[in-house]
Structure 1
Amino acid sequence: MEYICLSRSYYNLNEYSISPYRAEDMFLIMNWRNEQIAVLRQNKLLTKDEQIQYYHNYIEPSFSQITPKQILFSYLLKDTCIGYGGLTNLDWENKKAELSFLLETQRTKNDTIYKKDFSIFITLMKTICFEELNFNKLFTETYEFRKYHISILEENGFIYEGTLRQNVLFENKFINSHIHSIISQDYGKHI
């Protein structure tokens, strides 16, 4: 499968690559989402049936849409899936997208690995967002307790835009979300 809105279906940087979200990875991704539910906008554990339905009802149709709402990829290291993510909440009129990223749970526990994996994924997403789609803005929303994740965004050219105060109920307490973005005119400075 491939996204018709993109000129190619495979992008790579060194030994890393992204491929349109592969059906074979859906249960890996489901497990990682369930294991890392605290950092996601997900409020219950996913089941296999729900994951299959999601893939068939949302992912597969997006491959053939000229202006999909999301473009999701399997993230590979030497052809092994280590994560997934992509561009979500695509706004084709205003030319902006939200960056989505989730790494295999064990890889998130090593800061050096996490930083490298995430930074390369960001580079690939900036290429698609600014060069392929010719969008103007790539943004993120991150829960404030993810300080290391935020520092990697900032090292990769994302600028802090603001705080959504008491935005999410987490462990019976409201927490803030931070918004960061990079715009096309700044893209070349952080390749």
Structure 2
Amino acid sequence: MKKYRGLKQQVWQYEDYELVPIRDKDRLAIMRWRNEQMYHLRQSSELTPEDQDRYFEKVVAPLFELERPNQVLFSYLHKAKCIGYGGLVHINWYDGNAELSFIMQTSLEEEGFAFHWSTYLKMIEKVAFQELNLHKVFTYAIDLRPRLYPVLKEAGFTQEAILKDHVFFDGSYVDVILHRKLNTNE
């Protein structure tokens, strides 16, 4: 298992679920899920295996060597099997904030959306607030998945802003909704 130089703790657990530093062996499954879920991601075209290999080599691999990387990415595991991935992205070390990112295996979205988001949030918040001592985490969600907002509210997030007509999707403009959670351990 690769280790992030900037993290003392590498593995985060909740019941049968774990966040581990993103694994190379999960890259093609992650690519497939991203391609299947492009509608809610900031991704304009389908990824190829070559794209994904290049991304893991040029972007992901160097993150492990940095004391303060601009993102920390994790494979989300259930009983050692990767069923999602996410992390803290666009980390602003000076201001102490980061955007949360997470997608799960597409087939889990219908029945397990709220459960997996809640489970993921329990672990990633510990990374953000206990390990990295960030001040705030936030989500940037294109307003296409209304099931996300109750999960965030249940986890203690508050709606921070609505960016009106911010993203062009399927022939029209849609809003982006930002939610935030502050570090209560400061």
Q: Same fold (TM over 0.5)?
A: yes
- Structure 2 residue 41 is matched with structure 1 residue 40: yes
Q: TM-score, normalised by structure 2?
A: 0.97
* Structure 1 counterpart of 2:88, one-letter code: L
State the match for 2:51 in structure 1.
Answer: 50
The answer as to whether partners of 1:99 and 1:138 remain within 8 angstroms in 2 is yes
State the match for 2:95 in structure 1.
Answer: 94
Q: How far 1:154 moved relative to its partner?
A: 1.2
The answer as to whether partners of 1:19 and 1:74 remain within 8 angstroms in 2 is yes
State the match for 2:62 in structure 1.
Answer: 61
Q: How far 1:169 moved relative to its partner?
A: 0.5
Number of equivalent positions: 185
Deviation digits for residues 66-114 of structure 1 (CA, Å, limit 9, x no counterpart)? 110100000000000000001000000001010000000000011xx22
Secondary structure of 2:147's counterpart equals helix
Distance of 1:104 and 1:167 partners within structure 2: 27
Distance of 1:117 and 1:57 partners within structure 2: 29
Identical-residue share of aligned pairs (%): 34
Higher helix share: 1
The answer as to whether partners of 1:159 and 1:180 remain within 8 angstroms in 2 is yes
State the match for 1:180 in structure 2.
Answer: 179
Q: How far 1:8 moved relative to its partner?
A: 1.9
What is the CA RMSD across the aligned residues, in angstroms? 1.1
State the match for 2:9 in structure 1.
Answer: 8
* Structure 1 counterpart of 2:115, one-letter code: K
Q: How far 1:181 moved relative to its partner?
A: 0.2
Q: Which runs of 4+ in 1 moved over 3 A?
A: none
Of 97-106 and 142-151, deviating more is 142-151
* Unaligned runs of at least 5 residues, structure 2: none
Secondary structure of 2:32's counterpart equals helix
Map 1:82-121 → 2, pairs under 5 A: 82-110=83-111, 113-121=112-120
Secondary structure of 1:147's counterpart equals coil
Of 114-123 and 23-32, deviating more is 114-123
Q: How far 1:144 moved relative to its partner?
A: 1.5
The answer as to whether partners of 1:142 and 1:150 remain within 8 angstroms in 2 is no
Q: TM-score, normalised by structure 1?
A: 0.95
Distance of 1:56 and 1:49 partners within structure 2: 10
The answer as to whether partners of 2:40 and 2:144 remain within 8 angstroms in 1 is no
Q: How far 1:177 moved relative to its partner?
A: 0.3
State the match for 1:81 in structure 2.
Answer: 82
State the match for 1:143 in structure 2.
Answer: 142
Distance of 2:114 and 2:164 partners within structure 1: 27
Secondary structure of 1:161's counterpart equals strand
Secondary structure of 2:4's counterpart equals coil
